[in-house]
Chain A
Amino acid sequence: MKLFGRKEKATGEILAGGENAIANKEVEGLSQGQIVRRRFFRHRAAVIALVALSSIILFVLTSLDTKIGPIRIPGWWKWTVEDIPELRFEDCPGGTTGCPTLSLNPTGDFGMGNHPFGQDDIGRDYFALVMNGARRSLMIMFVIGAVSGFIGVVVGSISGFYGKRVDAVLMRLVDFIQTVPTIIIAAVIGKAAGRVGPFFLALFLGILGWTGLARLVRAQFLSLREMEFVDAARVAGASNIRIAFKHILPNAVGQIIVSVTLIMAGAILTETALSYLGFGVVAPDVSLGLLISQYESSFTTRPWLFWWPGFFIISIALCVNFIGDGLRDAFDPRQRRRITKKDRLQAKLQIKAGE
Chain B
Amino acid sequence: MLNYILRRIGVSIMILFGSSFLVYNLAAYASDPLAELRLSTDDGARQQIIALTRDLQLDVPPPIRYFLWLKGVLGLFVGNLNLGMTREASSVQEELAYAIPVTIRLVLVATITALLLGLALGIISALRQYSRFDYGMTFLAFLLYSLPIFWVAVLLKEFMAIQFNNFLSEPNIPIKWMFIFSIFTGIFWSSLFGGERKRFWSVFAGAFATNFVILWAIDLTNWYLNPGLGPILIAFLSIGIAFGVTAISTGLSNSTAKKAALTMAGLAVVWYYPAQWIFNNFGSYLTILIMISLIVLTGIGLSRVFSKIDHGPIARTAIITGLMSGILILVDRIMQSWAEYSATDAVNGRPVPTYGQRKDQLVTTDFWINNLDIIMHLILPTLALILISLAGWIRYSRGALLEVLNQDYIRTARAKGLNERVVITRHAFRNMMLPLSSLFVGEFVGLVGGAVITERVFGWQGMGTLGIKAINSYDLNLLMGVNLLLSILVISGNLIADLVYSALDPRIRLGK
Q: Does A339 contact B (CB under 8 A)?
A: yes
B324-357 interface (Cβ within 8 A of A)? none
Does B471 lie within 8 Å of A187, measured CB to CB?
A: yes
Q: A191 to B26, Cβ gap below 8 A?
A: no
Q: Total number of A-B contacts with CB less than 8 angstroms?
A: 130
Give the residues in chain A near B142, CB-CB below 8 Å.
318, 321-322, 325
Given the complex, which residues of A lie within 8 Å of B421, measured CB to CB? Answer: 3-4
CB distance A310 to B151 under 8 Å?
yes
Kindly state whether residue B150 has any CB partner on chain A within 8 Å: yes
A175 within 8 A of B: yes
* A-contacting residues, B114-148, CB 8 Å: 127-128, 130, 139, 142-143, 145-148
B194 in the interface (beta carbon within 8 A): yes
Q: Chain A residue with minimal CB distance to B150?
A: A276
Which residue of A4, A183, A321 is within 8 Å of B127 (Cβ)? A4
Q: Is A293 an interface residue (CB 8 A)?
A: yes
By the criterion CB–CB under 8 Å, are B150 and A188 in contact?
no
A314 within 8 A of B: yes
Contact A179–B491 (Cβ < 8 Å) = yes
Identify B449's interface contact among A45, A181, A300, CB under 8 A.
A181
Binds B, one of A73-81, A102-110, A265-273: A265-273
How many angstroms from the CA of A172 to the CA of B145 in the assembled complex?
29
Of chain A, the residue at the smallest CB distance from B199 is A2
Closest residue of A by beta carbon distance from B395: A325
Q: Contacts A3-B421, A5-B127, A265-B146 given; indicate if A185 touches B26 (C-beta within 8 A).
A: yes
Given contacts A176-B18, A178-B490, A188-B479, contact A289 B471 (CB under 8 A): no
Any chain A CB within 8 A of the CB of B16? yes
Known pairs A5-B128, A296-B154; A179 contacts B15 (CB<8 A): yes
Give the complex CA separation of A300 and B468 in angstroms.
26
Given A3-B421, A175-B15, A176-B15, verify A277-B145 contact (CB < 8 Å).
Answer: no
Identity of the chain A residue whose Cβ is nearest the Cβ of B410 in the assembled complex: A9
* Stretch binding the partner chain, chosen from B73-81, B221-229, B262-270, B480-488: B480-488
Interface string of B406-435 (1 = CB under 8 A from A): 000000000000001101100000000000
Residues of A within 8 A of B139 (CB): 45
- Closest approach, in angstroms, between the C-beta of A99 and any C-beta of chain B? 18
Q: Given A181-B483, A310-B148, answer yes or no on A276-B453 (Cβ-Cβ < 8 Å).
A: yes
Any B CB within 8 A of the CB of A6: yes
CB of B453, distance to nearest CB on chain A (Å)? 6
Instruction: Tell which of A6, A188, A313 has the most Cβ of chain B within 10 Å.
Output: A188
Q: Which residues in A have their C-beta under 8 angstroms from that of B304?
A: none
Beta-carbon nearest neighbor of A266 in chain B: B145
Tell me, yes or no, whether A56 is within 8 Å of chain B by CB: no
Number of interface residues of B (CB under 8 A): 52
B22 at the interface (CB under 8 A from A): yes
Judge whether A314 and B146 touch: CB under 8 Å.
yes
A292, B151: Cβ atoms under 8 Å?
yes
Determine the chain A residues whose CB is within 8 A of the CB of B11 once the complex forms: 172, 175
Q: In residues 276-315 of chain A, which contact B (Cβ within 8 Å)?
A: 276-279, 289, 292-293, 296, 299-300, 306, 310, 313-314
User: Is A154 located at the chain interface by the 8 A CB criterion?
Assistant: no
Q: What interface size band does chain A fall in?
A: 35 or more
The secondary-structure label for the interface of chain A is helix
Residues from chain A with Cβ under 8 Å of B31 in the complex:
188, 191-192
Please report the C-alpha to C-alpha distance between residue A180 and residue B486 in the assembled complex, in whole angstroms. Answer: 8
Contact A273 B150 (CB under 8 A): yes
**A122: Cβ under 8 A from any B Cβ:** no
- Docked Cα-Cα span, A124 to B154, in Å, equals 23
B467 pairs with A184, CB closer than 8 A: yes
B158 engages A180 (CB within 8 Å): no
Nearest chain A CB to B465's CB is how many angstroms away?
11
B424 contact set on A, CB distance < 8 A:
4
Residue of A nearest to B130 (CB): A338
The verdict on A249 contacting chain B, using a C-beta distance below 8 Å, is: no
Query: How distant is the Cα of A32 from the Cα of B27 in the complex, in angstroms?
Result: 48
A269 touches B490 (CB 8 A): no
Contact of B30 with A by CB under 8 A = yes
CB-based contact B467/A273 at 8 Å: no
The distance from the CB of B149 to the nearest CB of chain A, in whole angstroms, is 7
Residues in B neighbouring A180, C-beta threshold 8 A: 19, 22-23, 483, 487
Interchain nearest-CB distance for A299 vs B (Å): 6
Q: Is the CB of A181 within 8 A of B30?
A: no
B379 at interface, CB cutoff 8 A? no
Query: Min CB distance, A162 to chain B, in Å?
Result: 20
Which of A184, A300, A322 lies in contact with B158, CB distance below 8 A? A300
Q: In the complex, A172→B14 CA distance in Å?
A: 10
Q: Specify the chain B residue showing the minimal Cβ separation from A334.
A: B406
Residue B456 at the chain A interface, CB threshold 8 Å = yes
A293:B147 contact, CB within 8 angstroms? no
Name the B residues within 8 Å of A182 (CB-CB).
Answer: 449
Instruction: Take A176-B19, A181-B490 as given contacts and tell me if A187 and B151 are in contact as well, using a CB distance cutoff of 8 Å.
Output: no
Report the minimum CB–CB distance from A219 to chain B (whole Å).
Answer: 14
Query: Nearest B residue to A180 by beta-carbon distance?
Result: B19
Q: How far is the CB of A280 from chain B (nearest CB, A)?
A: 12
| Interface pair A318/B146, CB less than 8 Å apart | yes
Contact B453 A277 (CB under 8 A): yes
Instruction: Report how far A289 CA is from B153 CA in the complex, Å.
Output: 13
> Whole-angstrom distance between the alpha carbons of A245 and B429 in the complex?
40
Q: Is the CB of B150 within 8 A of A279?
A: no
Say yes or no: A277 contacts B128, CB within 8 Å: no
Q: How far is the CA of A172 from the CA of B421 in the complex (A)?
A: 44
Smallest beta-carbon distance A5→chain B, Å: 7
* Bound complex: CA A80 to CA B373 (Å): 48
Q: Residue A189 at the B interface, CB < 8 A?
A: yes
**How long is the Cα–Cα vector from A293 to B147 in the complex, in angstroms?**
15
- Docked CA distance A180–B27 (Å): 12
Q: Which residues of A contact B482 (CB under 8 A)?
A: 184
- Contact with B30, one of A188, A273, A325 (Cβ below 8 angstroms): A188
Which residues of the partner chain B approach A6 to less than 8 Å between Cβ atoms? 420
For chain A, residues 155 to 185, give those with C-beta under 8 angstroms from any C-beta of chain B: 172, 175-176, 178-185
Are B130 and A339 neighbours in the complex by a CB distance under 8 Å? yes
By Cβ-Cβ distance, the 6 closest A-B pairs, closest first, are: A317-B146, A4-B420, A192-B30, A318-B146, A181-B486, A6-B420
- Would you mind naming 21 contact pairs between A and B with Cβ atoms under 8 Å apart? A3-B248, A5-B128, A176-B19, A179-B490, A180-B487, A181-B449, A183-B449, A184-B471, A184-B479, A184-B486, A187-B467, A187-B468, A188-B27, A191-B471, A192-B30, A192-B31, A277-B452, A292-B154, A314-B143, A318-B143, A318-B145
Instruction: Report A's interface with B, CB cutoff 8 A.
Output: 1-6, 45, 172, 175-176, 178-185, 187-189, 191-192, 265, 269, 272-273, 276-279, 289, 292-293, 296, 299-300, 306, 310, 313-314, 317-318, 321-322, 325, 338-339
Using CB atoms and an 8 Å cutoff, list the residues of chain B in contact with chain A. 11, 15-16, 18-19, 22-23, 26-27, 30-31, 127-128, 130, 139, 142-143, 145-151, 154, 158, 162, 193-195, 247-248, 420-421, 423-424, 449, 452-453, 456, 467-468, 471-472, 479, 482-483, 486-487, 490-491, 494
Given contacts A179-B487, A273-B150, A321-B145, 4 further A-B contacts (CB under 8 A): A180-B22, A180-B483, A181-B483, A321-B142
